[in-house]
A and B are shown apart, each in its own frame.
Chain A
């Protein structure tokens, strides 16, 4: 039988929702136990949040000052040690998990399955390659620990509301390297919904034209309570910061409503939105590839259309 260890992602003392999505993927493998591992300098509040995720058997905490920041070189030896006795180690396929999991796999001397989008059996998974233009079925060696990252857009967050899940402190006797040090994190300040978990996302592309013009996107997003994203072109041009990029090398998202405004729809961008419920495209070029996958398309000048949308909403 399988036992799965899910690595909790957290920042600023709060559990990241990607953790509950990784728990969903773990549950799909029908294991006898799903334990969540919290590595932090102060794990209590995070562990309490993790304990509320339905389907979690136990929450394990490792509290060390070195765990104040998520440095893969520091966390990996602890995860590798904690992995003893588990058949699987799962982490969300966010920049946190992508950074950490392969380091864990290499310490264990095992392969990693990246971006799991479906669990077909305890050791059989589906994952995308070529920017999602092909889906492969891979079989992991049952004689080895399976290390996998979970493509969060493919999985709903496991329900919150569990009671009485035990929280246990682990004492791992592991020497940690000091050759990597955290300096700073520059975070965009935003009261808008989180791009990766939002049910509605409005994205702007090169067609928006400038940093100043992007205000029209923010304003409309705020009007409908949406998160704001962007194409690579808009990020490269400096209209918006990197954390807003949606696509193959940015964030892969699955909102119920995705509105692409002034985005032509390069393959790499479409990869990031394929799982969205309804895709709306607004572009002045009727031939733009975004219209090939959009559920609803509107051809025209975004600077005319977006104010009209707001007016129609008010009406």
Chain B
């Protein structure tokens, strides 16, 4: 079985995002970029399935500008067999990303597609579900445990009510939640090895997908700030203050 993994590059999760004063975007110049944490978890899960003998090949997919190569090399160093780089100068919205993935799915015929449940830049949480719909295959979102056997995936999902387990016939789309696994660290020799792994470069325009970027972002603003409050000296003062505010 082949596993396709979405591998997006985003502003590193430790960066404190600043909105540009003119409201046209957020500051990304000179800011550290990293793999979307949920995508590292997706890749880790795919690698573990390969190590268990469930899958033979793990292919990572990135959609982005020419300089995405270095990011994809990281995924290859982590252990992916090869990468597909769909090139586009502009960031794509989830529907377009899902349509791109559908094209790649038709070409690669994977048994499983694993994506992060959301990217920590746009926080959209859509692409996996959209791909599953367009492909007319099962989706198992927010996965915290995945077992593959007998042509189906048994997936435990983190839902608001607790833990839900569903069964999905393969091929299927799984999106990862935080507690699915802890991604491995990249070792130096693997970075060297990754240099010889193949990256297929495909121009987005050549895939013939209908553009799905229907949302126009017209303004960026900083969130309203909560002002720093006051410190109380002890438990008695805290309780008294809360009682005074009518909260206790």
Contacts and interface: CB of A to CB of B under 8 A. Distances in A.
B219 to A, nearest CB: 4
A71 B212 contact: no
Interface of A: 11, 71-73, 76, 94-96, 98-107, 109-115, 124, 128-141, 144, 177, 179-188, 196, 200, 224, 232, 235-236, 241-243, 248-249, 251, 256-257, 267-268, 274, 277-280, 291-300, 305, 308-309, 311-313, 315
Nearest to A127: B123
A128 B220 CA distance: 10
Contacts of A102: 94, 125-130, 133
Given A95-B158, A140-B214, A293-B228, A313 B234 contact: no
B219 A136 contact: yes
B130 A140 contact: no
Contact of A73 (B130, B132, B154, B241): B132
Q: Looking at chain B, what size class is its interface with the partner chain? A: 35 or more
B120 A185 contact: no
A256 B132 CA distance: 39
Central interface residue in B122, B123, B168, B213, by most chain A CB within 10 Å = B123
A187 B222 CA distance: 37
Central interface residue in A98, A131, A140, by most chain B CB within 10 Å = A98
Contacts of A305: 235
Contacts of A292: 228
Binding site secondary structure of chain A: mixed
A182 B234 CA distance: 50
B161 interface: yes
Binding site secondary structure of chain B: mixed
B136 interface: yes
Contacts of B215: 111, 113, 138-141
Nearest to B243: A313
A95 B133 CA distance: 17
A241 B160 CA distance: 11
Given A98-B125, A249-B177, A249-B178, A134 B26 contact: yes
Given A138-B215, A180-B139, A278 B160 contact: no
21 contacts: A72-B141, A95-B158, A98-B142, A103-B130, A103-B132, A106-B130, A106-B134, A112-B126, A136-B219, A137-B221, A179-B137, A185-B164, A249-B177, A257-B247, A280-B238, A293-B228, A296-B241, A297-B229, A298-B238, A308-B235, A312-B236
Contact of A297 (B17, B128, B216, B231): B231
Contacts, number: 255
B245 interface: yes
Contacts of A179: 137-138, 168-169, 172
B218 A139 contact: yes
B153 to A, nearest CB: 10
Contacts of B142: 95, 98-99
Contact of B141 (A98, A106, A115, A200): A98
B188 interface: no
Contact of A248 (B123, B124, B213, B217): B123
B226 interface: yes
B163 A182 contact: no
B159 interface: yes
Contacts of B124: 112, 114
Contacts of B57: none
Contacts of A140: 214-215
Nearest to A135: B221
A258 B220 CA distance: 28
B165 interface: yes
